[in-house]
Every structure is written in C-alpha cells, then in structure tokens.
Amino acid sequence: MAFNNISRHDKCDFLKFRNDVEPLGFDKNYTELEMIGFALEHGCPIIIKNGKRGKWYLKGKGRTEEYLIRLIQKNLGREREGVYCLFIQ
C-alpha cells in the first residue's frame, strides 16, 4: 500500500467493532509510527487511537477513499478528547 498523505482527525472514530486486522485491538504501547507501519503492511487506511490510554485499531480495509472520507466528515468531533483517527491516503 503506497500513500501520499496522512491526515489526523481529532475526536473521530467509526466502523466500531469492525477491526480489520486485530479484533481486540493493538496494545496501547505501540507508537504512532509503528501503527502506520502495521496499517501499510495490512492495507488498512484507517488507524484509530481510542484515547490517551486506549488501544489502537486498524480499519477500512477494502473500502473506498470516498466512503471513508464521508465517514470521517460524519463522525468528526463526536468522540471524547484523546480519541483520534489517522487517514492514510
């Protein structure tokens, strides 16, 4: 999976309980850079951090960029502080 851009969207989570790689999430101690590597390896354009002490989740595998953009726009600002989405394009 190649990419041109990674954008961050605060207070944004979606596709809940649809984790494409690790159903129970990844350990909170992974770094953002490590999670980007996992996402690229597994073809998941969405990375969710579930709060400052929360787990990481990989999502969006096989979904179109347009669909994911709509979900980001719809859910932006709906979560608590510390939850964010990274969108790899």
For 33-47, the DSSP string reads HHHHHHHHHHT--EE
Domain range spanning residue 81? 6-88
Distance of alpha carbon 71 from alpha carbon 45, whole angstroms: 13
Domain count, the chain: 1
Which pTM value belongs to this model? 0.93
pLDDT the model gives residue 19? 87
Distance of alpha carbon 87 from alpha carbon 8, whole angstroms: 6
- Answer yes or no: is 35 within a domain: yes
pLDDT exceeds 90 at position 75: yes
Give per-residue pLDDT as tens, 5-50.
999 999 999 999 888 899 899 999 999 999 999 999 999 999 999 9
- Answer yes or no: is 1 within a domain: no
Cβ(59)–Cβ(44) below 8 Å: yes
pLDDT band at 67 (very low <50, low <70, confident <90, very high): very high
Cβ(82)–Cβ(52) below 8 Å: yes
pLDDT exceeds 80 at position 2: no
